[in-house]
Amino acid sequence: MIRSITLLAGDSPHILRTGARYMAIDLRERIDTSPMTRFQWGAVAICVLLNVLDGFDVLVMAFTAQSVSQEWGLSGSALGLLLSAGLFGMAAGSLFLAPWADTIGRRGMILLCLGIASIGMLASAVSQSALQLGLLRALTGVGIGGILASSNVIASEYASNRWRALAVSLNSTGYAVGATVGGIIAVVLQNSYGWRSVFLFGGVCTAVIIPVVYLRLPESLDFLLARRPAHALARINAFAVRAGHQPLAALPAPRQADDSGPRSGVRVGSLLAPRQRRSTVLVWAAFFLTMFAFYFVTSWTPKLLVEAGLSADQGITGGVLLNLGGIFGATLLGALSARFALKRVLASYMVIAGALLVVFVPATVAVVVAFALGALIGVFVNGCIAGLYAITPSVYAPSVRATGVGWGIGVGRLGAIASPIVAGALLDLHWSPTQLYLLVAGALVLAAVAVGRLRFEAHTADARSADTPASVATH
């Protein structure tokens, strides 16, 4: 008996490798199909908190625009450049910085980007010119772009199939909460201490979260299995024990899909490889069109409501209701996706949002109806963004997942940047508010078509929950 055990252990390395691979697959499947533990929800909560800070940091310029403009005597075009600087930075961070998370780790990227964003915010508080502030806003945006991509990937990978869409959707809810609560805090701080205090507050809060992430946020399991950094097995087992699962005896043999290509550098070209090209183009189209629509709605609605005949105060109220609706929209999408296929829920959100936009301006003849529609538009338009964040990790293998999510968000930011430019040009051509909203509704319908044609590779852990109801996928 002892000899047979010795032979099995010493003379059959293939059996050991096969067993290690089985244990790793079993761990991944147990995470996907088991109830969420407090430790997993804690990791998701940290990602949500990161998005709360991001929501504040992104919109801090909008909160302080009037005070900054008065202090430095800025023209409208100069102020517009300041408002756009953060978006340019976020696009750059998503396109060129976030992909490195597939090399250095999602957690490592978040820590790096938190440092960049906190430096940008703190330095903005002492800026002495519009040029300085604009450059620092771009720097802050670079950090935020990297955080958004990496935090959404971690929230996706540490959630079970049943709750994955909700976990990622809660991130978007955090963004809306940060934007809404941040506006209230900004008003209080500006009235008491001036606009610089708002940047100081955001920078301090961003810096304070760094030790929380370092101590409490685990590294992505799929990254550890695919890239195998130093002490990967110990880090995997530390998570397994805290999540109530059996530790692994050894790392599994690398899967071919994860072991192909270089192990360093930014692998953007892999997103357009023949097997992946169709899905990548569809993801990019969906992000561009949806963010084009989202930033049009959130940026132009107050002004266009006034153009349609409402008062200035009523226009602002409509804009506030859009943000408030967004808090509930992402959460509702996640809850629905726990029961229905995420792809179908997301496509339905896009079509419904488009339909609401078509009837929005005509409804302004009745203010109460217009406000109700504004809140509903906020629910569905914000839910579209949350759904894209939730569904995109399903498209890519773990080894390029952060790259895929980062580039999707980055291309979407290009749509966000184009939105105010296109809308302004069309207004100069005497387009009516109704025509503009019809254009944006069409963009959302096209985005729904792109989402509906997405396919999910079998190698992704959450592909089933994206394309099938979670109640089926978890069995």
Using a 10 angstrom Cβ sphere, with 0-12 exposed, 13-18 middle and 19 or more buried, the burial of residue 129 is exposed
pLDDT confidence of residue 400: 82
pLDDT confidence of residue 208: 95
Q: How far apart are CA 39 and CA 239, in angstroms?
A: 9
Structure tokens, 350: 């896009």
Give yes or no for residue 366 having a pLDDT over 90: no
More confident of the two residues 70 and 21: 70
Confidence class for position 120, pLDDT limits 50, 70, 90: very high
More confident of the two residues 315 and 75: 75
- Highest-confidence range of 135-139, 293-297, 383-387, by mean pLDDT? 135-139
- What's the whole-number average pLDDT of the chain? 80
Rounded to 5 degrees, what are φ and ψ at 198? -70, -45
Percent of the chain with pLDDT over 70: 83
pLDDT confidence of residue 302: 66
Least confident of 147-161, 171-185, 221-235, 395-409: 171-185
Contact call for residues 190 and 198 (beta carbons, < 8 A): yes
- Buried residues in 52-85 as b, exposed as e (16+ CB within 10 A): bbbbbbbbbbbbbbeebbeeeebeeebbeebbbb
Please write the tens of the pLDDT for every residue from 41-65.
998 999 999 988 877 877 788 778 7
pLDDT confidence of residue 125: 95
DSSP 198-212: HHHHHHHHHHHHHHH
DSSP secondary structure letter of residue 99: G
pLDDT confidence of residue 434: 86
Structure tokens, 471: 């109640």
Give yes or no for residue 135 having a pLDDT over 60: yes
Domain residue ranges of the chain, discontinuous segments joined by +: 29-227+265-473
DSSP 426-473: HHHTT--HHHHHHHHHHHHHHHHHHHHT----TTSTTHHHHHS-HHHH
- Highest-confidence range of 6-15, 73-82, 407-416, by mean pLDDT? 407-416
CB atoms within 10 A of CB 429: 8
Give yes or no for residue 437 having a pLDDT over 80: yes
CB atoms within 10 A of CB 439: 17
Scan for tokens 């409490």, then name that residue.
216
Please write the tens of the pLDDT for every residue from 333-351.
878 887 888 899 999 999 9
pLDDT confidence of residue 332: 85
pLDDT confidence of residue 475: 30
Contact call for residues 228 and 254 (beta carbons, < 8 A): yes
Distance of CA 212 to the CA centre of its chain: 20
What average pLDDT does the segment 154-182 reach? 79
pTM above 0.75, yes or no: no
Give yes or no for residue 268 having a pLDDT over 80: no
Give yes or no for residue 35 having a pLDDT over 70: yes
Torsion of the alpha carbons at 308, 385, 61 and 133, rounded to the nearest 10: -130
The architecture CATH gives domain 29-227+265-473: Up-down Bundle (1.20)
Using a 10 angstrom Cβ sphere, with 0-12 exposed, 13-18 middle and 19 or more buried, the burial of residue 373 is buried
Rounded to 5 degrees, what are φ and ψ at 363? -75, -10
pLDDT confidence of residue 128: 93
What average pLDDT does the segment 306-335 reach? 73
pLDDT confidence of residue 315: 66
Q: How far apart are CA 220 and CA 234, in angstroms?
A: 13
Contact call for residues 352 and 403 (beta carbons, < 8 A): no
Q: How far apart are CA 203 and CA 200, in angstroms?
A: 5
What average pLDDT does the segment 446-463 reach? 74
Contact call for residues 323 and 180 (beta carbons, < 8 A): yes
Please write the tens of the pLDDT for every residue from 230-240.
788 888 888 88
